[in-house]
Structure 1
């Protein structure tokens, strides 16, 4: 049966609108998206450290970069 339909838009349309709105919020906050490729072992190490510190992987990377550029 599934969830009751509460929005007239399809799920795909809702996701597209939500992503667009998130990008606008990020831009207005001064955030810029950056993508990079890392070896799997580096990603695993980042993930472990992020879990240990109770933050997201992105937040951990931002902390590391902030410390690097502030030294």
Structure 2
């Protein structure tokens, strides 16, 4: 099975992390400032508490939908 380098991206997190260029073989990997994984947006400009608040809000919304649908 071949490794697809086009789907690889670098997500820089933290304030002290420089925007370093990473490579895989002879190719440089593309850098990204935000990524959505499992329906949760991970952004390097937000603090961890802000990200936790967004995740909790989304989870509470899903729980509210489940609660409304169950009699």
- Shorter-chain TM-score range: under 0.3
More helix per residue: 1
TM-score by length of 1: 0.28
TM-score by length of 2: 0.28
Q: Which has the higher contact order (CA 8 A, sep 6+)?
A: 2
More strand per residue: 2
